[in-house]
Chains A and B, each alone.
Chain A
Amino acid sequence: MKKRNIGLQDVVPFAAFVIIFAFFEIASKGKMLSPFSLQMMLDQSVMTIVSGCGVLFVVAMGSIDLSVGVNLALSGVLAVWAANAAGGALLVPVALVTGLLVGLFNGVIVARFKVPSFMLSIAMLIGIRGIVNFIQTNIGTQFIPEATRVFAEGYIRYPLFFVIVAVMWYVLEYTRFGKYCKAIGENETMAKFVGVPVERVKVLAFALSGLMAGFAALFSVTSVGGTTQQMGVFFEMKVAMAIFLGGVLVTGGFSAKLYKVLLGSFSITIIVNGLALIGLSETQYSQSFQGLLLLIILGVTILASSRRRKVPSTLDEEEPDPVANESRGK
């Protein structure tokens, strides 16, 4: 059976990644490929990728979840506080439950009350950040209890990371839930008419995204050793960029593939580190670079996918759908 056609929209992110990598490798005079540098980049990408796996389900449906940064902060702060107050065993459950609850809230507001997801995300961004700041002004930054430091060890972090990514990949590509998310992104009306429980799927996708933010919080507090004032700031943008730089369309659908999260994450990490290696570490350079790159990749992928759709059928002499032509006036 012939393999699926690979379109421009899939090639461009790969090409971008290769070009960026090559550029910085040369510009930094080979410092990029050092084992130390590579490991540092992997470490920096772990949180983004973990959260990205969750947000990918939301993006697959054509929505967006920009609350993962503040979700991470809230989950982290509450988890560390609980662990210090009542025992290290609470660290993991509190982080995950908080993340899940925030996600559920998002899901209900979007699915049941039909508030556009970007607007909700932004409201959460500001609202929850307010709450987190409030908590932190009262209890300050905290350290994680000694007992939980074991999570920072490589032999727990990396396997956990791989397992999470593998499970997410499985669910997205090989289960009904994943297919339903993508179908909703392709054509929500169709999904409804087939009998897909759209509302339920939406809530679950957002809940999953929240749960992954909870995991990311765990990775964050254990690697840093506690909470910080700037936890999660800009994180959601990083995750969103990772997804879109990897080539996922804003409308999601079947363009949502897990490897794209990995691709995009590494691209961002390389940009940020690469710029630092060549001496341009200040925000204005990395931020403007990322902003421009995001615009370019989005523009190109959208252009590529819309061009692909315009090609008329040259299969046979049958007319392309007369019904479709009729509704052209729409």
Chain B
Amino acid sequence: MSGENILEVRGLNKYFGPTHANRDITFTVRRGEIKGLIGENGSGKSTLISQIAGLYPWDSGEIVFNGEKYCPRSPIDANNCGISMVMQELGVIGSLPAGVNVFLGRTNQFTKNGVVSLKALNRAAEEVFEKWGLPKVPLNKLTDGMMIEARKIIELARALSVDPQLLLLDEITQSLSLNNRNKLYEIIRKLKEMGRSVIVITHDVEELIQITDTITVLRDGAVVGDVVSKETTPDEIKRMMVGRDISGAYYRADMTPAFGEKVVLSVRDLTVPGEFENLSYDLHEGEILGFCGLSDSGIHAVGKAVYGLARPSSGSVRLKVSETETVAIDRADTALRRNMAYVPKDRDSEALMLHASILENFNLPSLTDLEGKAGYLAPKKLKKRAADLVASMKVKCTDIFQTMDALSGGNKQKVNLGRWLAKEPKVLILDCPTRGVDVGVKAYIYALMKEAKKKGIAIILISDELTEVLGMADRLIVMKGGKVTARIRRDEDFTEQSVIGVMI
């Protein structure tokens, strides 16, 4: 009955080139329903919601909104129908003031004789903030100087100013503080009372169960489950997301921390302003030290700081280079020279030269080692090394001259990792090493980690995937808001329950 359902998606398909990003998606949202949408990275949830919001068209299938066929040609079309969205990536223009950002693209509403009345615009913006109980933001200030949270709130105001029948929220909660998250929940509740609907995407399974009426789970582009929130459990959701028992055999089998006694790296009272403060720990030979936390906990900055890529205001990072000597690591080129390795989280923008060949990518960190007399880099040597690495890492490619952008995510990650493993580094820093990678490659990477550990390589494993860290680490440091909230060893209460409490 169209009266009941505000949104009906039937058999929607979307392709990006050969990738089938959305497969035959079918689901409905009732009026006044809060629906949660969840899935692993790459499961197609952002894609789906972007199409509903009018960002790009779908390839086949249909959507019925409010009882009528829905075919938006642009986000403005969607707005006019009563659908608005807060995007996952940052969606404000820094060089424009906050008030303008709220009504950007619709400033014509406030023009008289071609001139936009900022007074009227700001007044309308203030009304939106007040109506929905949003925390105030200085409307005349350029959004450039504002915190991420303030910017997200502006985006939320923008979405609400359309007075939507259906509001789409793509991963907004992780940018909000606890206070504002509660305000958001209030807004969602208010919308529900008004008979409006909301689709919420978040990675936080518990939060999702708490605030939604129903949850749709996506996996590999298809809908694999549609459950009532009250009747499900986090485990059930996670199982549907991943499709198997997550305590899979590809993590470590043992539960004993096993590492050498020698301290390879020691960090004392390290503070990076805006990221974390007073961090101290020791890293041992053959140890896998895990760092876990939410995206704003500072864990990613820990990796950068250890490699000399951050600007600490105090504290030290010292690498042991001989029995008696330690060296301060305060610049990345020192770290490189001392045989440390850093595998960044964002492989496309931070780790790889996408338009260069596999050959060049594999060899770049090792050029100093490959130099011959008078700094000569023999092409034969370089080619052989790249070819050996392609073989040993089983990289699927046509040859070593192929450019990186033709490779799949998993193979790119193999290159990302392999170029460092080839050096047998003293310290290996991994930041989300299995992000955006399919199960087969995931298992392979874990196997590589186990092997490296056996060779005595000290590993720092930074990840926002709790199960991964719990599966692989000898010791775990949990961080929240830039501070250490727990240090747990593998043989003590190494479970999700004990960690989640201090992580979130």
Q: Do chains A and B touch in the complex (CB under 8 A)?
A: yes
Q: A73-81, A278-286, A312-320: which one contacts chain B?
A: A312-320
Interface residues of A in 76-107 (CB under 8 A from B): none
Report the separation of the CA atoms of residues A318 and B307 in the bound assembly, to the nearest whole angstrom: 33
Interface digits, B376-402 against A, CB 8 Å rule (1 contact, 0 not)? 111100010001000000001111111
Report the separation of the CA atoms of residues A314 and B399 in the bound assembly, to the nearest whole angstrom: 14
**Can you list 10 A-B pairs with a CB-CB distance of less than 8 A?**
A177-B375, A197-B332, A253-B355, A309-B405, A316-B396, A318-B396, A322-B436, A323-B348, A323-B436, A325-B42
Q: B111-119, B275-283, B336-344, B457-465: which one contacts chain A?
A: B336-344
Q: Which A residues touch B438, using CB under 8 A?
A: 318-319
Q: Which B residues touch A320, using CB under 8 A?
A: 16-19, 408-409
Among candidates A190, A195, A197, A328, residue contacting B353 with C-beta atoms closer than 8 Å:
A190
Asked, given contacts A315-B408, A316-B408, whether A325 binds B16 with beta carbons under 8 Å apart, the answer is yes
Q: Which B residues touch A309, using CB under 8 A?
A: 354-355, 403, 405
For B435, give the chain A residue with the smallest CB separation.
A323
Please list the residues of chain A having a beta carbon within 8 angstroms of any beta carbon in chain B: 1-5, 174-177, 179-180, 182-183, 186-187, 189-197, 200, 253-254, 305, 308-309, 311-316, 318-330
Among candidates A195, A319, A326, residue contacting B332 with C-beta atoms closer than 8 Å:
A195
Name the 4 nearest CB pairs between A and B, nearest first. A195-B336, A322-B42, A323-B436, A321-B409
Are B398 and A175 neighbours in the complex by a CB distance under 8 Å? no
Asked, given contacts A193-B342, A315-B396, whether A174 binds B376 with beta carbons under 8 Å apart, the answer is yes
Is B447's beta carbon under 8 Å from chain A? no
Are B377 and A176 neighbours in the complex by a CB distance under 8 Å? yes
Asked, given contacts A175-B377, A193-B350, A316-B396, whether A321 binds B412 with beta carbons under 8 Å apart, the answer is yes
Chain B contributes a number of interface residues (CB within 8 A of A) equal to: 68
Q: Which B residues touch A4, using CB under 8 A?
A: 357, 401
In the assembled complex, the CB of A173 is this many whole angstroms from the nearest CB of chain B, namely 9
Q: Which B residues touch A325, using CB under 8 A?
A: 16, 19, 21, 42, 47
Asked, given contacts A190-B351, A196-B333, A314-B18, whether A2 binds B410 with beta carbons under 8 Å apart, the answer is no
Report the separation of the CA atoms of residues A330 and B352 in the bound assembly, to the nearest whole angstrom: 18
Is B148's beta carbon under 8 Å from chain A? no
Is B360's beta carbon under 8 Å from chain A? yes
Is B407's beta carbon under 8 Å from chain A? yes
Report the separation of the CA atoms of residues A309 and B331 in the bound assembly, to the nearest whole angstrom: 34
Among candidates B47, B88, B342, B353, residue contacting A183 with C-beta atoms closer than 8 Å:
B353
Is B406's beta carbon under 8 Å from chain A? yes
Are A175 and B375 neighbours in the complex by a CB distance under 8 Å? yes
Report the separation of the CA atoms of residues A2 and B358 in the bound assembly, to the nearest whole angstrom: 13
Q: Which B residues touch A322, using CB under 8 A?
A: 19, 41-42, 409, 436
Interface digits, B318-337 against A, CB 8 Å rule (1 contact, 0 not)? 00000000000001111111
Are B309 and A192 neighbours in the complex by a CB distance under 8 Å? yes
Among candidates B46, B50, B408, residue contacting A319 with C-beta atoms closer than 8 Å:
B408
Are B408 and A2 neighbours in the complex by a CB distance under 8 Å? no
Q: Which A residues touch B410, using CB under 8 A?
A: 318
In the assembled complex, the CB of A62 is this many whole angstroms from the nearest CB of chain B, namely 12
9 additional A-B residue pairs with CB within 8 Å, beyond A186-B354, A313-B407? A176-B367, A176-B375, A195-B365, A313-B406, A315-B406, A318-B410, A320-B409, A323-B42, A323-B347
Report the separation of the CA atoms of residues A313 and B18 in the bound assembly, to the nearest whole angstrom: 8
In the assembled complex, the CB of B364 is this many whole angstroms from the nearest CB of chain A, namely 6
Are B357 and A315 neighbours in the complex by a CB distance under 8 Å? no
Is B68's beta carbon under 8 Å from chain A? no
In the assembled complex, the CB of A307 is this many whole angstroms from the nearest CB of chain B, namely 12
Is B371's beta carbon under 8 Å from chain A? yes
In the assembled complex, the CB of A114 is this many whole angstroms from the nearest CB of chain B, namely 15
Are B436 and A326 neighbours in the complex by a CB distance under 8 Å? yes
For B386, give the chain A residue with the smallest CB separation.
A1
Asked, given contacts A193-B350, A194-B364, A313-B406, whether A323 binds B41 with beta carbons under 8 Å apart, the answer is yes
Is B87's beta carbon under 8 Å from chain A? yes
Report the separation of the CA atoms of residues A190 and B400 in the bound assembly, to the nearest whole angstrom: 20
Interface digits, B46-70 against A, CB 8 Å rule (1 contact, 0 not)? 1100100000000000000000000
Q: Which A residues touch B261, using CB under 8 A?
A: none
Are B399 and A190 neighbours in the complex by a CB distance under 8 Å? no
Is B356's beta carbon under 8 Å from chain A? yes
Asked, given contacts A187-B354, A329-B88, whether A324 binds B46 with beta carbons under 8 Å apart, the answer is no
Is B140's beta carbon under 8 Å from chain A? no
In the assembled complex, the CB of B336 is this many whole angstroms from the nearest CB of chain A, namely 3
Are B357 and A197 neighbours in the complex by a CB distance under 8 Å? no
Are A319 and B42 neighbours in the complex by a CB distance under 8 Å? yes
Report the separation of the CA atoms of residues A329 and B342 in the bound assembly, to the nearest whole angstrom: 27
Report the separation of the CA atoms of residues A44 and B402 in the bound assembly, to the nearest whole angstrom: 38
For B50, give the chain A residue with the smallest CB separation.
A329
Is B231's beta carbon under 8 Å from chain A? no
Report the separation of the CA atoms of residues A3 and B379 in the bound assembly, to the nearest whole angstrom: 13
Q: Which B residues touch A179, using CB under 8 A?
A: 360, 364, 367, 377
Asked, given contacts A187-B352, A192-B309, A323-B41, whether A1 binds B435 with beta carbons under 8 Å apart, the answer is no
Q: Which A residues touch B357, using CB under 8 A?
A: 4, 254
For A191, give the chain B residue with the smallest CB separation.
B364
Q: Which A residues touch B87, using CB under 8 A?
A: 329
For A251, give the chain B residue with the smallest CB separation.
B355
For A255, give the chain B residue with the smallest CB separation.
B355
Q: Which A residues touch B355, using CB under 8 A?
A: 186, 253-254, 305, 309
For B19, give the chain A residue with the smallest CB separation.
A319
In the assembled complex, the CB of A249 is this many whole angstroms from the nearest CB of chain B, namely 9
Are B336 and A312 neighbours in the complex by a CB distance under 8 Å? no
Report the separation of the CA atoms of residues A321 and B414 in the bound assembly, to the nearest whole angstrom: 12
Is B89's beta carbon under 8 Å from chain A? yes
Report the separation of the CA atoms of residues A1 and B403 in the bound assembly, to the nearest whole angstrom: 15
For B304, give the chain A residue with the smallest CB separation.
A193
For A185, give the chain B residue with the smallest CB separation.
B353
Is B349's beta carbon under 8 Å from chain A? yes
Report the separation of the CA atoms of residues A147 and B19 in the bound assembly, to the nearest whole angstrom: 72
Report the separation of the CA atoms of residues A175 and B367 in the bound assembly, to the nearest whole angstrom: 9
Is B232's beta carbon under 8 Å from chain A? no
Q: Which B residues touch A1, using CB under 8 A?
A: 383, 387, 399-401
For A179, give the chain B residue with the smallest CB separation.
B367
Is B295's beta carbon under 8 Å from chain A? no
Are B332 and A192 neighbours in the complex by a CB distance under 8 Å? yes
Q: Which A residues touch B74, using CB under 8 A?
A: none
